[in-house]
Structure 1
Amino acid sequence: MKTARGGAATTRRDAVTGHVSFVGAGPGDPGLLTVRAVQLLAAADVVVLDAGSRDLVARFCRDDVEVLDAGPGEDGQPLARAARARLLTRAAKSGGRVVRLLDGDPGVFTPLVEEIAACRKAGIGFDVVPGVSAVTAVPAYAGVPMTTTGTTSVHVVHPGGRTVDWSRHCGADTTVTLIGTCADLVAAAEGLLAAGRAAGTPVAVTAHGTRTTQRTTTTILSALAEVAASADDSEPTMAVVGDVVSLREQASWYETKALFGWRVLVPRTKQQAGSVTTRLAEHGATAEVVPTISVEPPRTPQQMDKAVKGLVTGRYEWIGFTSVNAVRAVREKFTEYGLDARAFSGLKVAAVGGVTADALREWGIEPDLVPEGEQSATGLLASWPPYDEVLDPINRVFLPRADIATDTLVAGLQEDGWEVDDVTAYRTVRAAPPAAPIRDAIKTGAFDAVVFTSSSTVRNLVGIAGKPHPSTVVACIGPATAKTAEEHGLRVDVLAAEPKAELLVDALAAYGVEQRELAEENGEEVLRPSQRRHSSRRRAR
Structure 2
Amino acid sequence: MTFVGSGPGDLGLLTLSGSRALRMADLVIIDEAADEEQVSHLAPAHAEVRFAGGDDEVTAILSAVAKGRKVVRLHGGDFFTDADAGGVLSEVLQAAGLRVNVVPGINRWSAALSFGAVAASSSFAALDATLEVPPIDSWPAAETLIVRATGEASARLAEQAAQRFGADGPCLSLTGVGSTGQVSELLTWGEVEASDVDECFYIVGPGIEESRRQRYAWFEGKPLFDWRVVAPSTKDSLDPLVEELAHYGASTEIVATMTIEPPRTEQAMERAVRGLVDGRYLWVVFTSPHAVAAIAERLDEYGLDSRALSGINLAAVGRGTVEALARMGIKADLVPVVENTTGALAHEFPAYDDLIDPLDRVLVPSADVAVEPLLVGLSKLGWEVEEVTAYRTVRAAPPPPEVREDIKAGNFDAVVFTSATAVRNMIGIAGKPHAATVVAAIGPATAAACEIHGLRVDVTADAPTFESLAESLARFADRRRQDQVDAGLPLTKPSQRKRRRRRKTVEATA
Correspondence for 2:81: 108
Cα distance in 1 between the residues matched to 2:494 and 2:273 = 49
Correspondence for 2:198: 235
Distance of aligned partners of 1:131 and 1:377 in 2 relative to their CA distance in 1, 3 Å threshold: closer
User: Residue 272 of structure 1: SS of its match in structure 2?
Assistant: coil
Cα distance in 2 between the residues matched to 1:360 and 1:111 = 41
Cα distance in 2 between the residues matched to 1:394 and 1:123 = 63
Post-superposition shift, 1:344? Answer: 3.9
CA-to-aligned-CA distance 1:47-101 (integer Å, 9 cap, x gap)? 263446767655545663332436xxxxxxxxxxxxxxx4433434544466555
Pairs within 5 Å for 1:68-467:
68-69=52-53, 86-92=55-61, 94-96=63-65, 100-111=73-84, 115=88, 118-119=91-92, 125=98, 127=100, 128-147=102-121, 151=122, 153-159=123-129, 160-166=131-137, 174-195=143-164, 197=165, 201-219=169-187, 223-226=188-191, 228-229=192-193, 232-246=195-209, 247-268=212-233, 272-304=237-269, 322-326=287-291, 328-329=293-294, 340=308, 342-344=310-312, 363-367=330-334, 370=336, 372=338, 376=341, 399-405=364-370, 407=372, 421-467=386-432
Cα distance in 2 between the residues matched to 1:394 and 1:218 = 72
Cα distance in 1 between the residues matched to 2:85 and 2:362 = 64
Cα distance in 1 between the residues matched to 2:39 and 2:319 = 32
Cα distance in 2 between the residues matched to 1:310 and 1:183 = 67
Distance of aligned partners of 1:454 and 1:535 in 2 relative to their CA distance in 1, 3 Å threshold: farther
Cα distance in 2 between the residues matched to 1:107 and 1:532 = 45
Cα distance in 2 between the residues matched to 1:465 and 1:201 = 51
Pairs within 5 Å for 1:31-46:
31-41=12-22, 43=25, 45=27
Aligned: 1:490 with 2:455: yes
Q: Is the 8 A contact 1:23 1:37 kept in 2?
A: yes
Q: Is the 8 A contact 1:202 1:243 kept in 2?
A: no
User: Residue 290 of structure 1: SS of its match in structure 2?
Assistant: strand
Post-superposition shift, 1:198? Answer: 6.1
CA-to-aligned-CA distance 1:268-309 (integer Å, 9 cap, x gap)? 369722212222222222222333222233223444455677
Aligned length: 485
Correspondence for 1:49: 31
Q: Is the 8 A contact 1:23 1:130 kept in 2?
A: yes
User: Residue 229 of structure 1: SS of its match in structure 2?
Assistant: coil
Post-superposition shift, 1:402? Answer: 1.9
Distance of aligned partners of 1:205 and 1:306 in 2 relative to their CA distance in 1, 3 Å threshold: same
Post-superposition shift, 1:201? Answer: 4.8
With the length of structure 1 as denominator, give the TM-score of the two structures: 0.73
Correspondence for 2:49: 65
What is the one-letter code of the residue matched to 1:287?
A: T
What percent of counterpart residues are identical? 37
User: Residue 182 of structure 1: SS of its match in structure 2?
Assistant: coil
Q: Which runs of 5+ in 2 are unaligned?
A: 502-510
What is the one-letter code of the residue matched to 1:69?
A: G
Correspondence for 2:505: none
Distance of aligned partners of 1:400 and 1:525 in 2 relative to their CA distance in 1, 3 Å threshold: same
Q: Is the 8 A contact 1:166 1:191 kept in 2?
A: no
Q: Is the 8 A contact 1:169 1:192 kept in 2?
A: no
Post-superposition shift, 1:437? Answer: 3.0
User: Residue 229 of structure 2: SS of its match in structure 1?
Assistant: strand
Q: Is the 8 A contact 1:354 1:500 kept in 2?
A: no
User: Residue 171 of structure 2: SS of its match in structure 1?
Assistant: strand
Q: Is the 8 A contact 2:166 2:189 kept in 1?
A: no
Cα distance in 1 between the residues matched to 2:134 and 2:380 = 86
Post-superposition shift, 1:237? Answer: 0.3
Cα distance in 2 between the residues matched to 1:216 and 1:283 = 18
Cα distance in 2 between the residues matched to 1:106 and 1:455 = 48
Q: Is the 8 A contact 1:269 1:289 kept in 2?
A: no
Distance of aligned partners of 1:413 and 1:31 in 2 relative to their CA distance in 1, 3 Å threshold: closer
Q: Is the 8 A contact 2:404 2:431 kept in 1?
A: yes
Q: Is the 8 A contact 1:50 1:102 kept in 2?
A: no
Cα distance in 2 between the residues matched to 1:383 and 1:447 = 41
Post-superposition shift, 1:267? Answer: 2.6
Cα distance in 1 between the residues matched to 2:342 and 2:94 = 67
What is the one-letter code of the residue matched to 1:110?
A: A
Post-superposition shift, 1:186? Answer: 3.2
With the length of structure 2 as denominator, give the TM-score of the two structures: 0.77
Q: Which runs of 5+ in 1 are unaligned?
A: 1-18, 71-85, 537-541
Q: Is the 8 A contact 1:280 1:505 kept in 2?
A: yes
